[in-house]
Amino acid sequence: MATVPASAKVVVIGAGIVGNSLVHHLARLGWRDIVQLDKGPLPNPGGSTGHASNFIFPVDHSREITDLTLDSVRQYQEMGVFTESGGFELARTEERMEELRRRMSSAKAWGIEAELVDPAFVKEKVPFIEEDQFIGAFWTPSVGVVDSLRAGTIMREAALETGALTVVPNVEVTGLDVEDGRIRRVRTDGGDIEAEYVVIACGVWSPKIGDMAGISIPLTPAVHQMISVGPCPQLAEREGEISFPIVRDMDTFCYERQHGADMEVGSYAHRAILHEPEDIPSIEQAKLSPTEMPFTSDDFDPQLEQAYELMPELLGAEGAEMRYAINGLLSLTCDGNPILGESLVKGLWTAAAVWIKEGPGVGRAVAEWMVDGHSEIDVSHSDIARFHPHQMRREHTRLRTTEAFIKTYGIVHPAEQYESDRDQRCSPMHASQAELGAVFFETGGWERPHWYESNAGLLERYGDAVMPREHEWDARWWSPIINAEHLRMREAAGVIDLSAFEVFDIAGPGALETVQTVCVAQCDVPVGKVVYTPVLDPGGGFRSDLTVMRLGDRHFRVVTGAAHGPADRKWFGDHVPADGVTTLTNRTADVVTLGLWGPRSRDILASLTSDDVSDAGFGFLTCRDLQVKGTPVLASRISYVGELGWELYVGADDAAGLWDTLLDAGAAHGAVPVGIGVYGTTGRIEKSYRAFGFELDGERSIVEAGMQRPKVKAADFVGRAAYLAQRESAPETVLCTLVVDDHTSASGIKRYMLGGEPVLTRSGESLTDGHGHHPYVTSAGSAPSLGRHLLLAYLPPSEAVIGNELAVSYMEELYPVTVGSVDATPLLDPTNERIR
Amino acid sequence: MIVVLVETDLSGAAVEVSREAVTFARSLSDAGGGVPIDAVVVGEPSAALVDQLAAYGVRDVHALTGEAFDSFAGAAWASGVLGVRTAKNAVVVMAAGTPRGNEVMAHVAARAGVAMAANVLSFSGLSPFTVTRQVVGGAALEEMRLADRPAVFTVAGHAVEAAPAAAAGGAHVVVERPDVDPADLVARVVSTQAPEPDLSGSLKSAKVVVGAGRGAGSADGFADLLELTELLDGSLGVSRVVTSLGWRPHHEQVGQTGSRISPDLYIPCGISGAIQHWAGCSSAKAILAINTDAEAPMVTKATYAVIGDLHEVVPAINAEIRRRRAG
Amino acid sequence: MTSVLVCVKRVVDSSSEVVLTDDGQAVDGRYAGFTMSAHEECAVELAVQIGDARVVTLGDADAVEQLRAALAVGCTAATHVVADPQTFGPADVARELAAVVREHDHDLVLLGNDAADSGDFQVGIRLAYELGWPVVNGVATVSVQDGTIVADGAGPNGHETYRLPLPAVVTVLEGGVEPRYPTVPGRMKAKKVPIDERQPTAEPAGPGRVRLLLPPPAPSDVQVLGKGAEAAPAVVDLFERLGVLAR
């Protein structure tokens, strides 16, 4: 039995691709006294890395995942373990061809060379493929395979050479000791290690290790089936591991990947086969390795047939036999993203649910995050702090991954909703909203009405102004009622359920210090002021944007979106001084937010309260307590839709009553219930309001987003130095609002972009900003009050000129666009008259 | 009474496992109040065999003789054993857990219409008669009830240590010439010959295989390994990564997707022992692992190991062999 | 052409550490998976080399997997005696197999020498008595020439040959042939072969099993000969002892 050092600065648990990459980058960034443990032997301790098929297709619709992949490829190349093979993604149907066209958008947006090719092109490179089985393909020349075990060894040895690392294989973690909310010690069967930091990087076993410290790492081990067929003479005659492009047969959810003389056929088509981390066998119990479970051939048989149809000569070649077949375990999460970052236990980090294609990039990002407080690549969609309590349940992970497994190669609409494990968080108005025909979309587990079928009658009233969409894809998960609700709100008023807002109060002697430290904007304001503020990381990238209300001398309320709420709450919590008296209290469950906006909103509110709600009596960006028809509410005059109005914070018990009251009183003024389709898209895009996770992320600055104010507050805050420096130089990229000039496609059908599309010159040439990035649409949506479809995109400064004529590529067709705004100035009501 | 089938070697002596079976039978006899133990042998016993069985406490030695017993036929042997059993009304019929022993006892059980337990290690009760035996190739044990009479079973090799009895038996030789039904001689050994050595020189038939993994370093890193292979008149086997990298041809691959080998000695050099590789070499009679990592699975599973870099160890071995040859 | 029946049993793959079910009545296959024994793989290989081979198993619904595996490497028909194998003793299994042999008029039955899990060493022999046929046990190769079976295997005193007329039962030990792996077309074909399902002909008497136990673990007994180049003399001593040095 190996023994472990008695203490370490950081203990990394796991020696798969992630753990190895992490120790390398931690050592490279200067950390010392790193201990890496694995319960298995080296170089292959038996986790998912050991049986990975090791190929990398760089194009993903997610920018974050693509960036991590591209960074990983670069690292693999530097280590000399990357072999470029090229790769095809085949389409057997027209629907898939359309998806491949959408994939072209992502490729262009992320700057990856790719092209759509015909079957003959594929046949030339893959002579043993049957051309008549598919109609086209997406060709990525930069696809390749890596030797992930070798890469792991190289990275581990690099760290060892610096003297920063001690590696102890064959040691099992038996416990994690947490004291005062901080990790203290790792217990192993080879002794205990006192540690300042611990990183759980042990893939499918991570939940089990997390449980030892009382944290949830919501991933599930899931089966990916793979067989190896060979030796195939067509492959054997070429030297080396791979000489033919990898084929992803998208419509059968299969891939064919050469491995020496063998062809590996993998599948994501079978039923979701999930395991519990506790039920993974030990190294001794496993036939092959713990993550190579017994093959269940029945599940694979349909894929075998499809693979055979595609490559009959190869897979049916004389002597080609199925010699190796596994149910390989990999990690899946409820939203498909990795689980990275510091957990609710201070000093206890995670780096799990990572695939080979992202491994080294994740190792670098997490190491930077640990050492510098932020990473070059924004990984906020992978932050472990993103999970709401219901998402931390194993059952939720199980249900969602079961539903999502078949979508691994699926055609997933960007707005597609999950069906399983819904109704986790319903507002007090849920039942009455359902009666109104609310169509619920989910955010952070909250069921939010996206539009109300009860407003269908407005369609006739507004006619073509609702900008109906002719193409099914553009209109999927969408309704023209959204635009009708929008127009009604702008014409009269709308009542919006904002229950999903994450609301938390910071109170006590350190409250001001906390909000001042976290927020860019001046928060040392009179009681009753409402502050909208960016939140930065130490490098000056966005961590969030949110509003802060000063409710008392030592009492602030923070309101932020549901999606990023838990991460914001953790970030503020991390900055609450440890004085024992300053507190952060989550009020999300007991405070419900209702929005009332529109030109008639003041009349409506005035009809329900004796308090003064005039502009003079209740100014913009102020808040105070009101009695609304006898119900106590905290009203805040603010707007994310560009209209006069209020957010009303009410106790959960009173919320349903207030909802009815507002709708009843509003009816006379023409108010209707309005969904999140307006709040999140149409209302905001007409006002060019930025949204975190779309326009704002860790790789963007306040200056680039056009959100800088004349002055910077004197008080120190996170990211201040970086922000000051950003203000001193010209931006490398500029967030602009673009107007689509013509929607007509070649077929005559009008098409409407949904976001993620590349922005090009009018003639279709690529553009590049000062960061080397290519412009793409960060948000897209109808602007019914303008009768236009608007796009937000970061453009190279030289292109950020009002009136500049550019193009957007959508489904491989170019549509003309014109720059309408080059800063935060909205196209609708640029002087904000309506808000007053 | 207990009847034990005793097998003999070419010299005519009782093989060790049969002596173990007799030893086992004695412990059973002791538990049963000293029931006598008779042996059944095939062919006229030598004086040495009779002395041996006497020392082991055998009462009578029944010798099955006649043309029917000149070459092996399981059914014929069983009919002979059963003849003795019936004549003496034995309550136990047993043999060593050898291929012959298991085969003949299965015939006995089938003919007598009783159960049979193979590879018994011990017994834990007489009424009901309960035995513990090896199953799953020895990886698990089964407690099994053997209620039928006669109780038919075989004794697993090394279940007990063969030991002579405290008091010698008479070992009276009873020459039996049973009538054997011709049907019991249809399946019969018609010829026996010493096996021919496989001289094909292939990986699968090699007596020694030198294994190489990524530790070889490059396609040029095999010179020392090939020399060792030659000095041992063996074959070179490689792990999957070596063929994947194109360093060596596919037909040299050992493992799940390559050849499965069973040499007298396998010498994996710089192979950690990934399970896929282990699947191809686990049948080797002995393994000498050369590896820098003393904890590598290949080392812990090996019979012998040298801890060190193959690029240092292998040339030193080659030099030592050449030195001794020269000397 | 000889009509061969080859008998297989779904067993837990026991190449890794054996885990027992909670009730101690069986080996737990959830980690290691299920297979047929190596002896039976060789029996299947021999069967398809000899002629038209039907594969049979007695087992629960999952045992179809082993039938398909045999079909994938060349068996052309399959019979599934649907029963809980834990409740069937060797004599019970032999009786059920005999019924299948009679039904299809097979003239050669191949089995593994012993099942990898229960290790009873007797089903083939009991089957022969059920049928009134001769039985050859524990051979490595079997062929049929002009109605005569030639079977070869290792005996205590050397290589043994049996020669006998059909019909007969032969039990096979691994090592004489290299069982083929399935091909993709073979596997696809196997999927389409209808499986003849039948019920047991009689209530089983059952095995005598009380329970299964695990033996104490065997320690790693690697003998380290030394470190680095200094170990060379000890290594060559070992070569001399094992007699593996080339002459």
- CA C13/CA C45 separation, integer angstroms: 19
Same domain for B102 and B215? no
B257, A287: Cβ pair inside 8 Å?
no
pLDDT value for A1:
47
Residue of B nearest to A45 (CA): B274
Is residue A728 classed exposed, middle or buried when 0-12, 13-18 and 19+ CB atoms within 10 A define those classes? exposed
Q: What percent of chain A has pLDDT over 70?
A: 100
C157, B294: Cβ pair inside 8 Å?
no
Average pLDDT, chain A: 95
Predicted confidence band of residue A8 (pLDDT cuts 50, 70, 90): very high
Q: CB-CB: which of B140, B305, B308 is closest to C27?
A: B140
Same domain for B216 and B180? no
- CA A301/CA A39 separation, integer angstroms: 34
Q: CB-CB: which of B214, B250, B275 is closest to A261?
A: B250
Average pLDDT, chain B: 90
Please determine, for residue A214, whether its predicted confidence score (pLDDT) is greater than 50.
yes
Q: What sign for the dihedral angle of Cα B12, B16, B21, B27?
A: positive
Q: How many secondary structure helices (H) and strands (E) does chain C include?
A: 6, 14
pLDDT tens per residue across span A557-586: 999 999 999 999 999 999 999 999 999 999
Please determine, for residue A99, whether its predicted confidence score (pLDDT) is greater than 60.
yes
Predicted confidence band of residue B276 (pLDDT cuts 50, 70, 90): low
pLDDT tens per residue across span B59-109: 999 999 999 999 999 999 999 999 999 999 999 999 999 999 999 999 999
CB of B260 within 8 Å of any CB in chain A? no
Please determine, for residue A763, whether its predicted confidence score (pLDDT) is greater than 90.
yes
The DSSP element (H or E) to which A484 belongs, if any, is: helix A480-491
**Touching subunits for chain B (3+ Cβ pairs under 8 A):** A, C
CB of C231 within 8 Å of any CB in chain B? yes
pLDDT tens per residue across span A319-328: 999 988 899 9
Q: Does residue B93 lie in a domain region?
A: yes
C16, A286: Cβ pair inside 8 Å?
yes
Question: Which residues, 6 or more positions from B132, have their beta carbon under 8 angstroms from its beta carbon?
Answer: B120, B121, B122, B123, B124, B141, B142, B143, B144, C213
Which residues in chain B touch residue C164, judged by CB atoms under 8 angstroms apart?
186-188
pLDDT value for B257:
61
In this prediction, residues A331-340 reach a mean pLDDT of: 96
Q: Does residue B46 lie in a domain region?
A: yes
Q: Does residue B177 lie in a domain region?
A: yes
- CA C162/CA C164 separation, integer angstroms: 7
pLDDT value for A655:
97
User: Nearest C-alpha of chain B: how many angstroms from A51?
Assistant: 10
Structure tokens at C172: 């096979």
Q: Does residue B198 lie in a domain region?
A: no
pLDDT value for A144:
97
Is residue C218 classed exposed, middle or buried when 0-12, 13-18 and 19+ CB atoms within 10 A define those classes? exposed
Structural domain for B102, as ranges: 2-185
Same domain for B180 and B37? yes
In this prediction, residues A123-145 reach a mean pLDDT of: 97
Surface of A (256-275) touching B: CB under 8 A: 259-262
- CA A105/CA A322 separation, integer angstroms: 38
Please determine, for residue C222, whether its predicted confidence score (pLDDT) is greater than 50.
yes
C129, B319: Cβ pair inside 8 Å?
no
In this prediction, residues B10-24 reach a mean pLDDT of: 94
Q: What percent of chain A has pLDDT over 90?
A: 93
CA angle A493, A495, A496 (to 5 degrees): 130
Which residues in chain C touch residue A315, judged by CB atoms under 8 angstroms apart?
184-185
Please determine, for residue B14, whether its predicted confidence score (pLDDT) is greater than 70.
yes
Q: What is the ipTM for the molecules in this complex?
A: 0.91
Structure tokens at B40: 């059944």
Predicted confidence band of residue B249 (pLDDT cuts 50, 70, 90): confident
Same domain for B213 and B159? no
Number of compact structural domains in chain B: 2
Q: Does residue B91 lie in a domain region?
A: yes
**Touching subunits for chain C (3+ Cβ pairs under 8 A):** A, B
CATH number for the domain harbouring residue B278: 3.40.50.1220
Q: Does residue B191 lie in a domain region?
A: no
Report CA-CA distances (Å) from A127 to A73, A313, A385.
27, 10, 48
CB atoms within 10 A of CB B173: 17
Query: Which segments of A89-136 does DSSP mark as H helices, in order?
Result: 94-110, 119-125
In this prediction, residues C184-193 reach a mean pLDDT of: 94
A·B CB contacts under 8 A:
55
pLDDT tens per residue across span B193-238: 976 555 445 787 889 999 998 777 777 789 999 999 999 999 999 9
Residue of C nearest to A298 (CA): C65
pLDDT tens per residue across span A463-493: 999 999 999 999 999 999 999 999 999 999 9
Predicted confidence band of residue B246 (pLDDT cuts 50, 70, 90): low
For chain A, list the domains and their CATH numbers: 7-208+219-333 (3.30.9.10), 502-586 (3.30.70.1400), 730-836 (2.40.30.110)
For chain C, list the domains and their CATH numbers: 3-198 (3.40.50.620)
A260, B214: Cβ pair inside 8 Å?
no
- CA A479/CA A498 separation, integer angstroms: 20
Same domain for B140 and B7? yes
C183, A282: Cβ pair inside 8 Å?
no
Q: Does residue B199 lie in a domain region?
A: no
Report CA-CA distances (Å) from A216 to A209, A345, C128.
9, 11, 60
User: For tokens 């051939």, what's the residue?
Assistant: A297
Which residues in chain B touch residue A46, judged by CB atoms under 8 angstroms apart?
275
- CA B208/CA B262 separation, integer angstroms: 9
Nearest to C207 by CA among C146, C127, C119: C119
User: Nearest C-alpha of chain A: how many angstroms from B257?
Assistant: 6
In this prediction, residues A50-66 reach a mean pLDDT of: 94
Residues in chain C: 247
Q: Does residue B192 lie in a domain region?
A: no
- CA A491/CA A458 separation, integer angstroms: 12
A285, C31: Cβ pair inside 8 Å?
yes
CATH number for the domain harbouring residue B161: 3.40.50.620
Same domain for B235 and B115? no
Surface of B (51-110) touching A: CB under 8 A: none
Which residues in chain C touch residue A287, judged by CB atoms under 8 angstroms apart?
13, 15-16, 31-33
Which residues in chain A touch residue C184, judged by CB atoms under 8 angstroms apart?
229, 304, 307-308, 315-316, 320, 322
CB of B297 within 8 Å of any CB in chain A? yes
Please determine, for residue A541, whether its predicted confidence score (pLDDT) is greater than 60.
yes
Same domain for B160 and B20? yes
Q: CB-CB: which of B250, B274, B293 is closest to A260?
A: B250
Same domain for B149 and B54? yes
pLDDT value for B205:
81
In this prediction, residues C35-41 reach a mean pLDDT of: 91
Mutate to test the interface with B, among C86, C120, C145 (most CBs of B within 10 A): C120
Please determine, for residue A181, whether its predicted confidence score (pLDDT) is greater than 70.
yes
B246, A240: Cβ pair inside 8 Å?
yes
- Asked whether the beta carbons of B264 and B286 are under 8 A apart, the reply is yes
Please determine, for residue A618, whether its predicted confidence score (pLDDT) is greater than 50.
yes
Predicted confidence band of residue C178 (pLDDT cuts 50, 70, 90): confident
